[in-house]
Chains A and B, each alone.
Chain A
Amino acid sequence: MEHQSEILSPTTGWILLILLAILWIYLGIYWGKKAKNLDGFMLAGRNVGLAFGTATAMATWITSNTTMLAPQFALQLGIWGMIAYSTAAFGLFLFAPLAKRIKQLMPKGYTSGDFIRLRYGNTAWYIFLAISIFYGFTWLISMGMAGGILMNALAGIPYEIGMTMILLVCVLYTLFGGLYAVIGTDYIQSLIVMIGIVVVGAAVLYSIDLEQVYSDLQTEKPMLIDALLPASLIAIFNNLLFGIGEVFHSNVWWSRAFAMRKGVGQKAYTLAGLFWLPVPIAAGFIALTSGSLGVNITSPDMVGPLMAGHILGQVGAVIVFIVFFCSLASSIDSLLAATSDLIVEDIYKKMINPKAKEQRIRRISMFVIIGLGVFAWLVCLPRIGTLATVLFFAGPMVASTIYPIAMGLYWKTASPKGALWAMVLGSLSGLIAYFNLGWYTASLIGAAVSIVVTTLFAKINKEEFQWKLLDESQSGPNG
């Protein structure tokens, strides 16, 4: 019953939705023709260059998390909240050297799960898979929800239908084209998103009086411009560490590191971070103008699209619809592809059917992509919370994986027990903080516990890991 006044008519919304659906599915089929074998379908032939590599990393990181959560952060946590969101760029910056190292150590690797299994053994691998797949689901669900919320807020399309449509479109084109389609569409989507954000940003600056916005904030929402708002001070490093955890552990980023040509990964991730850094600030700022422009916000995750649509009017709302749709699609497709790779490679191929032939694995991949889409759809149907609460629930778990990954790539003494306990204790302590202090503390606490545990175990461990064991093409699948 929380009716929110929409900007576009449902008819316009439907026309846009159908046109975008046809375009992305056509491109998925077109790029899918390149995927002639499993490496092509899962890793785009391991031959992605700098332009596509940068675009896909940036497009994937510009998700509903950026275009919808950054404004939500600004509305909830003010100026610091907006800046806190942009610190997630450090995830990409710090992953840049890791991407180079990953490609060097595992030239024929497939997933982040491969690394944990080979580096730390099966027990840590099971825990890691549980965390990574759970995180993939929360991200996927938060974006399915975002799709429904967006179409409902902008065009009055019922939440259930909008959410179904965006999941369906992304499942279809990922199914046809695998990672080729994902990276190809990411390239176009990143261009559309960047142009759209520049247009929206310019229009906002042109149409509002900054002094008036400041004065209204001082009167109506004074803590949003208070440099000492406690929750936002806490959120800064919480979000930064969450961003690092997301990128370090997730197969979305590892699969791109494997897919990029040798020498490309480090540059591509650095450039993507630089391009991404200002986007949350541009997207987040408009949320602060809601009071001055008299726009009522019924749910904080709607503030971004609503404000942009309100400021730009009918034509602008069409641009906003396209930009937000692209930002969502560019991440949903990546998640479907990377999570299905993780499930197929780490669970089906390694645990269930190690002798499976390439054709069979590809068929299983397609079933998994459909299954992921259906599962996400079922969980998205009841709108269970705001985007932030859904996504940040996984925060402590992913933050607890930072050090098993980073130290595991550089320290020979990083130990299996250390990785295991870092993930378990980091996740548990972070979840306790989530429920007792607030969602904006959970990743920070999880990461702090994880770094201490991983370091302690590494210091007392006398055994040194042999890096060559990570290259399965040299050592064979069983090490």
Chain B
Amino acid sequence: MKALSTCLLVLFLTLGLKAIDPEPPQFENPPENFTESGYIKLSWEWIPGAESANGHEFELQQAPDAQFSSSTAIYQGQDFATFLSGLKNGDYYYRVRVKEGGPWSAWSEPTLVRVQHHSLSLAFTLFGLGALVFLLTVGIVVQGNRKVTQNP
């Protein structure tokens, strides 16, 4: 009888725990993302469960590999998105999970952000072109103004 009670208690606790284990959030971004400017917005969706009245908290992790062997928590809070910027060239993996006053959910499917900045040669070419166009514009206005002031 005692063994049966223990079994029922274990079963109840297991089912009970399962019942409050929240569903993991899912990224709205595609599994692979690419940016040439070093910034990107990550957003995720999640449907609050029965425990949502107690509030919820997300945790977003970043890692350089898909196994998350050396991950860093970059956000903890209630928002459903975060904006990342200033990233260097490279691959960044992200995953998110949630808790509603109880245990954490499982991790979401990861999403990859691949950063490959524009080449510096393109950047300097456009920078130089912009500088030239600007100087010519100043020249047109200054010279034109001088001309009409001298000879209205």
Contacts and interface: CB of A to CB of B under 8 A. Distances in A.
Interface stretch (B12-20, B78-86, B96-104): B78-86
Interface string B119-137: 1101110110111011011
B38 A231 contact: yes
A94 B78 CA distance: 47
Interface in A389-421: 402-403, 406-407, 409-411
Contacts of B88: 222-223
Contacts of A296: 75, 77, 79, 82
Interface residues of B, number: 46
Interface in B53-97: 74-75, 77-83, 85-88
A410 B127 contact: no
A101 interface: yes
B50 interface: no
Interface in A275-309: 296-300, 303
B152 interface: yes
Interface stretch (A35-43, A123-131, A179-187, A238-246): A238-246
Contact of A298 (B82, B126, B133): B82
A451 B133 contact: yes
B113 to A, nearest CB: 13
Interface in A82-98: 90, 94, 97-98
A299 B79 contact: no
Interface string B12-41: 000000000000000000000000111101
A104 interface: yes
Interface stretch (A255-263, A440-448, A471-479): A440-448
B145 A101 contact: yes
A382 interface: no
B147 interface: yes
A2 B79 contact: yes
A76 B119 CA distance: 18
A406 B140 CA distance: 7
Contacts of A101: 144-145, 148
A3 B86 CA distance: 23
Contacts, number: 157
A19 interface: no
Given A75-B83, A76-B85, A230-B120, A94 B137 contact: yes
Contacts of B39: 75-76, 300
A79 to B, nearest CB: 10
Contacts of A440: 37
Contacts of A5: 77-79
B141 A221 contact: no
B148 A298 contact: no
A228 interface: yes
A231 B148 CA distance: 39
B117 interface: yes
Contact of B140 (A76, A100, A298, A410): A410
A411 B152 CA distance: 13
A209 B87 CA distance: 23
Size category of the A interface is 35 or more
A172 B77 CA distance: 40
A2 B81 contact: yes
A230 to B, nearest CB: 4
B126 A94 contact: no
Contact of A234 (B79, B126, B152): B126
Contacts of A225: 86
A410 B145 contact: yes
A437 B36 CA distance: 9
A372 interface: no
Contacts of A145: none
B128 to A, nearest CB: 9
Interface in A208-267: 217, 220-225, 228-231, 233-234, 236-238, 240-241, 244
A222 B88 CA distance: 7
A94 B144 CA distance: 12
A403 B134 CA distance: 11
B130 A240 contact: yes
A1 B44 CA distance: 9
Contacts of A78: 85-86
A461 interface: no
Contacts of A314: none
A224 B86 contact: yes
15 contacts: A2-B79, A4-B79, A100-B145, A223-B86, A224-B86, A229-B38, A230-B36, A230-B123, A231-B118, A296-B75, A296-B77, A300-B85, A403-B137, A403-B140, A438-B37
Given A1-B80, A76-B37, 4 more contacts: A220-B86, A223-B88, A234-B123, A297-B82
Interface of B: 36-39, 41, 43, 45, 74-75, 77-83, 85-88, 117-120, 122-124, 126-127, 129-131, 133-134, 136-138, 140-145, 147-148, 152
Pairs of residues from A and B, 8 with the lowest C-beta to C-beta distance, nearest first: A237-B130, A221-B86, A410-B144, A230-B123, A224-B86, A230-B118, A298-B81, A231-B37
